[in-house]
Every structure is written in structure tokens, then in C-alpha cells.
Amino acid sequence: MKANFTKILALLLIAGWGTQSCKPKDAGSASSSGSAEKAYVAPGKYDQFYNFVSGGFSGQMSVYGLPSGRLFRVIPVFSVDPEKGYGYTEETKPMLNTSHGFVPWDDLHHTELSQTNGEVDGRWIFGNANNTPRVARIDLGSFKTAEIIELPNSAGNHSSPFITENTEYVVAGTRFSVPSDNANGDIPISTYKENFKGYISFISVKKETGAMDLAFQIECPGVNFDLSHAGKGKSNGWFFFSCYNTEQANTLLEVNASQRDKDFIMAVNWKKAEEYIKAGKAKKMPAKYAHNKYNEKTHTATSEMKSEVLVLDAKALKDICYFIPCPKSPHGCDVDPTGEYIVGSGKLAALIPVFSFDKLQKAIQAKQFDGDYQGIPVIKYEAALYGEVKKPGLGPLHTEFDGKGNAYTTFFVSSEVVKWNIKDLKVLDRAPTFYSVGHLCIPGGDSKKPNAKYLIAYNKITKDRYLPTGPELTQSAQLYDISGDKMEMILDFPTIGEPHYAQAIAADLVKDRSVKFYKIDENTNKYVTKGEGQAKVVREGNQVHVYMTSIRSHFAPDNIEGIKMGDVVYFHVTNLEQDWDVPHGFAVKGANNAELLIMPGETQTLKWEPNRVGIFPMYCTDFCSALHQEMQGYIRVSPKGSNVPLTYSLGNTKPVAKR
């Protein structure tokens, strides 16, 4: 125990020191003008790829172009966004509803593009919320968050969201094992081994619409599920999850969860699980979780609270889950384009094990087990192992593939990306990263058909790489050309939040589907105003509804009187423009939330509770025309009980009373 402890401390010390002691020696500058040209996209020209990068603790997803590294858009997913008003407008607030109430922030680690036949198809991208477990679907027509589903029985939704090869399911594994939601959770933490369970969630995705639903969960032993990937091709029907803390420690995990030489990769036969569901083998468990949808016609989100989930018991059913021993505290769990090779990256391992799907199947048939772990069969390590990459580097984390028989693995501690051959497991090339790379991305690099032109490394630490900006520095990505035998670094670019997983896709698969504006005729928002003539202000008790329009360069109405203290005012602003790239903004003095940013044809609502008597200006926040600065108006707020009549107008020097 003591010796083990010292060994681990030494390892952790290396990890902690990594950024200093293993700082790559050469400056890693893409110095030749040839490399600069490779990343250069001339003004007015399009990039070849979209790059969707998770924002980590920013809760957002950012969209870059490759190879330029230009930032196009930040999509709020699990975050309120003052820029666009997401999470502030009445229409979008329900998107962030959970069983814990309104949760406006979360930690988005992983992005996963939808696939058809194992190839990225550019329809949707999924993202996970780690902290309050949720999975989101972003529509790549509107680049908006279209749907969010909360996951019961989960905590730390890290092993998520990973998809099957026809996007039948988005799958999510819990990082923290916890007592199930309907069990009594008021128990000593030290009863982890008896009472804590790990749940894997299968969210079904409708083929045409993308609509999600929590199809079922599998109850597994209480360990930490870390990451996963679906099988593909021959291994389609299976899912693989890395797990750590098979020690089942509940305190000081950095030591106590690093005791065993090997943790596991859990192989899940999800086709079998589907059969059991059909055969009625699942139990219905009470659970409370939110399901939020954004409707592109009403421009409004709804939140529904669900009350039940189907659960399969992995232990009782025996043949849906298998553990494969994997050294040591595995993190990334990646499947090559053929579906035959499963790569486990042990954060504390000095090698990379590569498992064979064929051997795994034979081992299961021949029952080559090493007993069981909490009722789940443990396959003999050698029986499933294809081979090991020896001395690849220090601290392997994630692997992507180029479709030409090569794998690329990131090494946090030794700060490098290492290219190796999947067949002979020989290291072919190494490229330094600046510094301490976590994730990497090759367009389609976790699909059946990678588009292996570029590799992007997402680094955890930048130190001296950019101009300093106080103690908090930018996160960063580095772009490599991988079209040749050797990786060549061609660009550094800063990123937003802390990027974890990222995905990239050929621009052609997305750009032509991109929505230009919303048709006003199809707008069915409850509070839509389809023309200036229909603009009105309606009092309902102490609620005042302002049905307002915006068009270059005025609001209708632009003068409102008769608002009183104690009123709650809803500005329902419809942007009447029917043209590309003409949003209008809306802001009113004293509103304690963001502005609205309303796309052409859209209606969005700002709730405002004036807290003092007086004149309150409102204005358009988005520079929309030469007379943008003229796009403004006034609201008069009178004392409670005042007899100022409710009036509204546009273009009148004297307000006209209307009822």
C-alpha cells in the first residue's frame, strides 16, 4: 500500500510538472511561409471545414472555420447568452429548465455530429451537460439549440453524448455513481459499495426530425464511467465505455482510485438490450426529468417534466454488459473506422492497449472470463487484447483516426500528439503541442470515414504562447496538416472556454442547409405581430403585453404611456424583415437582463418590471441600417394608481388614446 502510494504520488508529480518539465523544446513555430499558406483563407473565401468545439465550463459550443481558425459563432447551449438573449427571453427560458429548476449554466465537454451509415451527415450536433446531467441537440440548419433532455439517475454526465452509426441513439454514461433517484439518498457516503450505482442512458433519436426521448437506462455497478464510443461496421450494436475507480473509492480518489493495475472498458451489447426491452424485461422506475424542445415555427420552447424511465439490470440479465480489463484509469475509449479495434487510453499507463472486437466476441462465446466484477463477467485481458503500443508517451488521453490505418493519440504529460499504425502498433511520428494537449479532432475522425487532411489539438495550457492577459489566459488550439507522412503544425488559434471534444465536417455538408431567415407567414408565436397595423399594447390586470414590430429603422409603437409601477411588461417584438442578415435588437433601460436579438421573421419576448417612475428609452442594439441610431423610442412609467391612460403610437407627436 505504502509503496503503491509513493509510486502514484510520483506519477502525479510528473503529471503536475508536465507543463514545465516536459515542455517541448523547439518553439513549434509554423515558421516556413509554406505552412502559413496552408492555413490561409483569402478574404471573402470560405473555409473547407466547420469545426464545432465544446466550450467546457462556458457551457457553449463554438464554431470555427478550418483551416483558417476563424471564429464564426458561439452557440449558447447550457448557458444564458447576453449577446442573443438565449435563456433571457421568455421564449428560450424553458430550454434551461430541469428537475432542479432553472439551471442557466453547465459544463459542456463533448460534441458529437449525427451520422448516417457511420458517416457524419451535417444534420445535428449533440452536446452534454456534465454537472446537471443533460444532453442537447443543436440543429445545424439554424445553429440553435433545438432540444435538451435531462438524465435521471446520473451525476456528472461525462461519458456523453456518443452516438450509434445511424444516430439511432445518443448514449450517456454517468461519471459519478450515486444512489438511484428514487432510492433514499440520505445514507452515509461510506456505503458507496452497497448503495451507489452507475447508469447508462440510451436516448433515441427520430430519424426525420431528430426528436429525442429517453428510451431506456442500464443499471451497472457503481464505478466512474468516463468516456465512450459506439462500435461501427462489424461492431455496430455494441458500445464501449471506459471506467475508472473500480476500487469504488468515495474519498481522495487521486490515490484511492489509482490502486488497481487495471480498470475496465465496459462493452455493452445494445442490440441485446433492445431485445430485452421488447421482451418486457425492463422495470419502470419513477424518475423526474425535464424534456425541453424549441419549436422553429412558434419560436418558443416548451418544457415537460417526465416521471418514469425504463431500466434494465445488467447484473440480472447477464449478457448485455462485459468488463474488459484496461490499464490504468482509462480516459478516452475510441473505436477505429473499421470497428475492429478499440483503443483504451490509461491516464496512468505506460502503454496503449488495443482490443480486438473479433477476439472479444470469441472470448465471450468461449467464456474466457476471469470471474466477475459485481455480477458482470470480466473477460481475460489477453483474450480480448489485439496488442499494446509500447512506450507511446506519457499520459495518453484521446485517439482519433485517419482512415488510412493510422491512429493519433494525445499525451497530456509529454505534451504531444503521437501517430501510430493500428496494425503493427508502431509509433510513426510525434508532434509537440503547446502545451499539455487534451483532445484532438480529425474531420470525421471518430466515424467510419475520416476526412484526414487536418488534425486539431486542443491544449489545456497556453502559458507563454500568446500575449498575456492577466492571470487568466486564453485556451488554444493548434492545427496540423496530416496529409503527408509527418504531421506539420500550420496554425495556432485561441478558443473560447475550455475545449474538450470537437468535431469537424466538410463545409459542403452543412452550408447549403443553413437557414437564411424565418418566413413571417409561418410564424405561429402566440404573440406574433405580422404587420405594423396590428401593433398594439394590451393591459391584462398588472400585465402589459406590447405587440411590437421592428423594421428598418423604427419600432411600432415607439411611444408608450400609461405603464404603472407594479406592472409587468412583456415586449413581444416581431422582426418583420424578410431578408438575410437583418436582425434587430431590443433593449430598454433598467432591464436587468440582456437585450433581445431577433432574427428576420422571428418573435422574441423581453419581460420588464420597471422599478421607478419616469421616462425609459428603448432602442435597437444591432446596427441594422444607416438610420440604426434613429431606431429608438420612449416608455413613460407613472406611479401606481395614476390615471394616465394606456396609449401607444408611432409617428404621432401627441399620443392618441386607444383602448
Interface residues with ligand RUQ (CB under 6 A) are 109, 158, 331, 397-398, 438-439, 500
429 makes contact, choosing from ligand CUA, ligand RUQ, none, with CB < 5 to 8 Å by partner type, with none
Residue 518 CB, shortest distance to ligand CUA, in Å, is 16
The SS3 assignment for 5 reads helix
Q: How far apart are CA 80 and CA 101, in angstroms?
A: 14
109 makes contact, choosing from ligand CUA, ligand RUQ, none, with CB < 5 to 8 Å by partner type, with ligand RUQ
Closest CA to 497 of 165, 169, 106, 193: 106
Q: Looking at beta carbons only, is 446 or 602 nearer to ligand CUA?
A: 602
Q: Looking at beta carbons only, is 296 or 622 nearer to ligand CUA?
A: 622
Instruction: Tell me the one-letter amino acid at 305.
Output: M
Residue of 61, 360, 505, 620 interacting with ligand CUA (CB under 6 A): 620
624 makes contact, choosing from ligand CUA, ligand RUQ, none, with CB < 5 to 8 Å by partner type, with ligand CUA
Q: Looking at beta carbons only, is 563 or 631 nearer to ligand CUA?
A: 631
> For 226-282, where are the alpha helices, taking DSSP H only?
253-256, 270-278
Q: Looking at beta carbons only, is 346 or 633 nearer to ligand CUA?
A: 633
Closest CA to 502 of 61, 175, 130: 61
Distance between start and end Cα atoms, the chain = 82
Q: Is residue 556 near ligand CUA by the rule CB under 6 A?
A: no
Q: Is residue 628 near ligand CUA by the rule CB under 6 A?
A: yes
398 makes contact, choosing from ligand CUA, ligand RUQ, none, with CB < 5 to 8 Å by partner type, with ligand RUQ
Residue 599 CB, shortest distance to ligand CUA, in Å, is 12
631 makes contact, choosing from ligand CUA, ligand RUQ, none, with CB < 5 to 8 Å by partner type, with ligand CUA
Q: Is residue 630 near ligand CUA by the rule CB under 6 A?
A: no
232 makes contact, choosing from ligand CUA, ligand RUQ, none, with CB < 5 to 8 Å by partner type, with none
Q: Is residue 599 near ligand CUA by the rule CB under 6 A?
A: no
Residue of 17, 40, 580, 623 interacting with ligand CUA (CB under 6 A): 623
Closest CA to 127 of 168, 86, 79: 79
Q: Which of residues 566-595 bind ligand CUA (CB under 6 A)?
A: 584
Residue 182 CB, shortest distance to ligand CUA, in Å, is 51
623 makes contact, choosing from ligand RUQ, ligand CUA, none, with CB < 5 to 8 Å by partner type, with ligand CUA
CA angle 55, 242, 496 (to 5 degrees): 10
Percent of the chain that is helix, strand, coil (3-state, to 5): 15, 45, 40
359 makes contact, choosing from ligand CUA, ligand RUQ, none, with CB < 5 to 8 Å by partner type, with none
φ/ψ of 362, rounded to 5, equals -65, -40
Residues 6+ apart with CB under 8 A from 54: 61, 108, 109, 110, 111, 127, 497, 499, 500, 501, 502
123 makes contact, choosing from ligand CUA, ligand RUQ, none, with CB < 5 to 8 Å by partner type, with none
Q: Looking at beta carbons only, is 199 or 586 nearer to ligand CUA?
A: 586
Q: How far apart are CA 492 and CA 495, in angstroms?
A: 10
Residue 439 CB, shortest distance to ligand RUQ, in Å, is 6
Give me the 511-550 binding string for ligand CUA, x by CB under 6 A, dash otherwise: ---------------------------------------x
Order of strands, sheet of 119-129, starting from the edge strand that comes earlier in the sequence: 111-116, 119-129, 134-139, 144-150, 283-295, 300-313, 212-221, 197-205, 169-173, 159-163
134 makes contact, choosing from ligand RUQ, ligand CUA, none, with CB < 5 to 8 Å by partner type, with none
φ/ψ of 94, rounded to 5, equals -60, -20
The SS3 assignment for 181 reads coil
Q: Is residue 247 near ligand CUA by the rule CB under 6 A?
A: no
Order of strands, sheet of 351-356, starting from the edge strand that comes earlier in the sequence: 330-335, 341-346, 351-356, 385-390
Q: How far apart are CA 215 and CA 359, in angstroms?
A: 30
Residues that contact ligand CUA, how many (by CB under 6 A): 9
Q: Looking at beta carbons only, is 15 or 637 nearer to ligand RUQ?
A: 15
φ/ψ of 63, rounded to 5, equals -120, 120
Helix (H) or strand (E) holding 410: strand 406-411
Binding site for ligand CUA (CB under 6 A): 550, 553, 584, 620, 622-624, 628, 631
